């Protein structure tokens, strides 16, 4: 047996640690802005995350890490655009997502879960139905990375197929789980997608790259009420069919 084979057969992850990292993950919506994350920690998370599976080992992910001035400048640009759309909804036509993250037509049970998620969050924050100003303000929090000191932007070469988005999901999950293993939290954010025309030039992405989504990374603000909101999950028997 070679040394490499011995490594494969003897190195086993601690299942308790892996499960704890997965089960303690949630979409954090309030971070400690003044508690930075060391570059070495971010690099270590990405080093581990790159072990994600991908079809024929294409590894289609491209990652842009925003901190400091680059982060703050992007926040200013996108927040201004978001406010402009709120003031004049016709401007939304200028900001289109490059791929359909959500379905054109919502059906049960997905629309039911979406509504439960939205009103659960807004209800916790005391935002009532029809309170458009406060809804806008809460949605606006996406575009300050929920005060996280680190923002990720993920891109994909447009030449790649839809299967690469499956690969990307596994890569991003590795980042989120790796962050938890280091005491950090994350929030994956499709909210950024409509602002690709602002984001891609800002981060220096090439003309053949497509924005996949953004993500916030940092230390959770444990005193923030919004971070007590954890979404429910369906029981295993509701989505599993056993075939003998």
Q: Are 86 and 136 in contact (CB under 8 A)?
A: yes
Tokens 């954890």 sit on residue: 230
Peptide bond into 109 cis (omega under 30): yes
Tokens 């400091």 sit on residue: 68
Sorted by sequence, the CB contacts under 8 Å of residue 176 that are 6+ apart come out as 25, 186, 188, 215
What pLDDT is recorded for position 4?
55
Measuring CA to CA, which residue among 154, 162, 217 is closest to residue 190? Answer: 154
pLDDT in tens, 208-220: 999 999 999 999 9
Tokens at 105, concatenated: 């037509």
Q: What is the DSSP letter of 31?
A: B
pLDDT in tens, 140-196: 999 999 999 999 999 999 999 999 999 999 999 999 999 999 999 999 999 999 999
Query: pTM higher than 0.75, yes or no?
Result: yes
Say if residue 53's pLDDT is above 70.
Answer: yes
The span from the CA of 72 to the CA of 33, in Å, is: 11
Under the banding of pLDDT at 50, 70 and 90, the label for residue 15 is confident
Tokens at 72, concatenated: 């703050």
Tokens at 17, concatenated: 């640690």
Q: Are 167 and 212 in contact (CB under 8 A)?
A: no
Q: Are 50 and 59 in contact (CB under 8 A)?
A: yes
The span from the CA of 8 to the CA of 12, in Å, is: 8
Say if residue 6's pLDDT is above 90.
Answer: no
Q: How far apart are the first and last CA of the chain?
A: 36
- 3-class DSSP state for residue 167? helix
The span from the CA of 174 to the CA of 179, in Å, is: 8
């Amino acid at each position: 047996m070679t040394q490499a084979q011995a490594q494969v057969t003897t190195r086993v992850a601690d299942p308790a640690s892996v499960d704890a990292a997965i089960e303690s993950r949630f979409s954090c919506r309030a971070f400690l802005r003044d508690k930075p994350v060391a570059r070495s920690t971010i690099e270590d998370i990405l080093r581990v995350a790159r072990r994600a599976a991908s079809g024929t080992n294409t590894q289609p992910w491209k990652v842009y890490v925003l901190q400091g001035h680059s982060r703050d400048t992007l926040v200013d640009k996108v927040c201004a655009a978001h406010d402009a759309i709120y003031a004049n909804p016709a401007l939304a036509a200028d900001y289109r997502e490059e791929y359909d993250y959500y379905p054109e037509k919502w059906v049960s049970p997905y629309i039911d879960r979406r509504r439960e998620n939205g009103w659960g969050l807004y209800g916790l924050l005391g935002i009532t139905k029809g309170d458009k100003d406060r809804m806008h303000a809460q949605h606006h929090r996406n575009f300050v990375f929920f005060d996280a000191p680190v923002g990720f932007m993920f891109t994909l070469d447009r030449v790649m197929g839809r299967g690469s988005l499956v690969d990307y999901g596994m890569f991003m999950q590795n980042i989120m789980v790796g962050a938890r293993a280091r005491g950090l939290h994350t929030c994956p954010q499709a909210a950024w997608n409509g602002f690709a025309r602002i984001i891609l030039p800002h981060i220096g992405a090439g003309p053949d790259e497509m924005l996949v989504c953004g993500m916030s990374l940092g230390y959770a603000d444990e005193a923030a009420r919004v971070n007590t909101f954890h979404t429910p999950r369906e029981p295993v028997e509701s989505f599993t069919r056993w075939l003998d």
